[in-house]
Structure 1
């Protein structure tokens, strides 16, 4: 069986792809082979209940792909978008640590991007450069919404803008935030507003760079 094609079919066509994946796991049908088992192992990775009351990383991933399925038609690249949702927290497999009594996964976005490269390259999907770059970039940048909104030191608007996927990063971001425990309407509105703030700051950055370039060109004349 071509697992990539089978997974892609359900990620692109199912209203709730999680049903398919959870059924595979429950019936021992999920491929326990590399690289697919990198995602399967997320079942054993617990998360800080304060931020993830839903449970382990696999549960979170399933909730995120269901949220992504609601929005995939709004993305530039639906196939890449759904695979980015499926792989977005793969980095937590190796970065999750207990620090001072709290579970953390620092740099899981950066590590996850490298693991995504490894995952896709093993399947020879790096040959599809557009798909490959899209998925790796979304995994690498999915935490930027939080960093940018909070004016965090890890915010990297330059990298976000250069990726060319600003809107889809925001789209994956809302899926990530809503793919957790239940939220009130007020909490959902807050998450949606954070995405708006992220997009606004990206646009402001673009406008600022454009003004700087225009000023530079004028002074050169």
Structure 2
């Protein structure tokens, strides 16, 4: 099966078989327009006065049907860019035209941003995703060139005898696609994706964000044209992947990329996991396990906060080192020793290729590196020293590491699952106990560099750094020492170093 037979209903959509279903969606659109009437009516009047038409279009219309609040309002119009700018200069509080060469002018009024674009009828060269910008003359011509039918609906902001009278336009049956939670293209998908291959990633993103499923012909085109994604820059790929990973169901979007072959070009480490069976033999393969960990990590986030992209990326990538470290054990089974070390390097390399910021690369890599640390200790075997090292190595990533490790427990054995969670509960209790006595977030040697130089009569140099590292290890191993004890330990270590020299 390539796509879910019944996609998840992430939003309160009516049953498509309900005879009132269309009326429900149209009432939602009308409600949004009515709510924005104080803003929209004067804007529409300004366009009508210039002999131009104005349409609320795309995402805001779709989101209204889904019961979502769209914070940005996008419009299309028959007016040319210079006319749009003149109207917005008079209507808005602030106007900017950085996109005017593409027909787009933006403005803000009463805290609400609007973006208005002239009808487009672009031509693509089939080599890049950058079109030859051509302005169109009809709404239908503009809508048919959009990515998906559910984004190709419009509400015309009409004034009839001076009365605000919005009118719905849906030339490519986008409303039906919303009702059936389906992603389909206005044109043949082969034409749409050849024009702009990034739309294939957008399909996966909408699967994650909206809970829609791609139409069979869209799936087939994505599979057949996957290599076309190599025409897209790493920066644009990264932006779409982040939107996908920020969605309500990122595992579904990732799965679509893998099933269609797109992941082979943008995240090849993920489909590679399908070749490896999980060492516990409780999952179909490591790939499915990784999607499960991503789902569980997402569910552990605070729903009131923004999606935790570092946690989600670490959850998806945490086992990518397994294919390179797989070894068959005597007597049967397989092992993946040090896959977290290999995986951390691979994660950093992939995120770097996708042009992620350095802090994202390092933090995700560190989470992958640390995700197995917990499993190196059995129940009740966490010494104070081990707890200090765990907290120190995680640093500010500790809350994310807690969630990642808990999400990584995907065993189907209820007894084992309870035991693992109970063991981690115990570790968090130990961390809290020691933190109550020591400042675990700032574990430092009991003697600083200046004191070390004074006690050992050293000048700044490598020997001071070596002594500092020794005192840091001593602090992690034994906890806080009083000053005299710390000095004695430093001198004893120094005598040993000199005798070995």
After TM superposition, the score normalised by the length of structure 1 is 0.79
Among 420, 425, 444, the residue aligned to 1:196? 425
Are residues 149 and 199 of structure 1, via their aligned partners in 2, closer, same or farther at CA, if it must alter by over 3 Å? farther
Among 325, 337, 351, the residue aligned to 1:106? 337
Equivalent residue number for residue 215 of structure 1: 482
Q: 1:58 and 2:303 equivalent?
A: no
Shift of 1:139: 0.2
Q: 1:19 and 2:249 equivalent?
A: no
Which runs of no fewer than 5 residues in structure 1 stay unpaired? Answer: none
Hey, what's the Cα distance between the residues in 2 that align with 1:149 and 1:197?
A: 11
Hey, what's the Cα distance between the residues in 2 that align with 1:76 and 1:131?
A: 16
RMSD: 3.1
Equivalent residue number for residue 39 of structure 1: 270
Describe the superposition over 1:125-147 as per-residue Cα deviations: whole angstroms up to 9, x where unpaired: 2xx23322221111000011212
Hey, what's the Cα distance between the residues in 2 that align with 1:54 and 1:33?
A: 25
Hey, what's the Cα distance between the residues in 2 that align with 1:80 and 1:135?
A: 6
Equivalent residue number for residue 161 of structure 1: 392
Q: Report the 3-state secondary structure (helix = DSSP H, G, I; strand = E; otherwise coil) of the residue aligned with 1:37.
A: coil
Describe the superposition over 1:125-177 as per-residue Cα deviations: whole angstroms up to 9, x where unpaired: 2xx2332222111100001121234548xx68525423312222121011000
Are residues 147 and 23 of structure 1, via their aligned partners in 2, closer, same or farther at CA, if it must alter by over 3 Å? same
Aligned residues: 209
Hey, what's the Cα distance between the residues in 2 that align with 1:86 and 1:54?
A: 15
Q: 1:73 and 2:307 equivalent?
A: no
Q: Report the 3-state secondary structure (helix = DSSP H, G, I; strand = E; otherwise coil) of the residue aligned with 1:13.
A: coil
Hey, what's the Cα distance between the residues in 1 that align with 2:261 and 2:337?
A: 32
Hey, what's the Cα distance between the residues in 1 that align with 2:363 and 2:485?
A: 35
Shift of 1:209: 6.0
Are residues 194 and 219 of structure 1, via their aligned partners in 2, closer, same or farther at CA, if it must alter by over 3 Å? closer
Are residues 116 and 135 of structure 1, via their aligned partners in 2, closer, same or farther at CA, if it must alter by over 3 Å? same
Shift of 1:183: 4.1
| Greater RCO, CA 8 A, separation 6+ | 1
Among 148, 155, 177, the residue aligned to 2:377? 148
Which runs of no fewer than 5 residues in structure 2 stay unpaired? Answer: 1-197, 199-235, 440-477, 488-501
Q: What pairs with 1:75-154 in structure 2 (closer than 5 Å)?
A: 78-100=308-330, 101-125=332-356, 128-150=357-379, 151=381
Shift of 1:38: 1.4
Hey, what's the Cα distance between the residues in 2 that align with 1:61 and 1:107?
A: 17
Q: Report the 3-state secondary structure (helix = DSSP H, G, I; strand = E; otherwise coil) of the residue aligned with 2:294.
A: helix
After TM superposition, the score normalised by the length of structure 2 is 0.38
Higher percent of residues as helix: 1
Among 13, 16, 30, the residue aligned to 2:262? 30
Higher alpha-carbon Rg: 2
Higher percent of residues as strand: 2
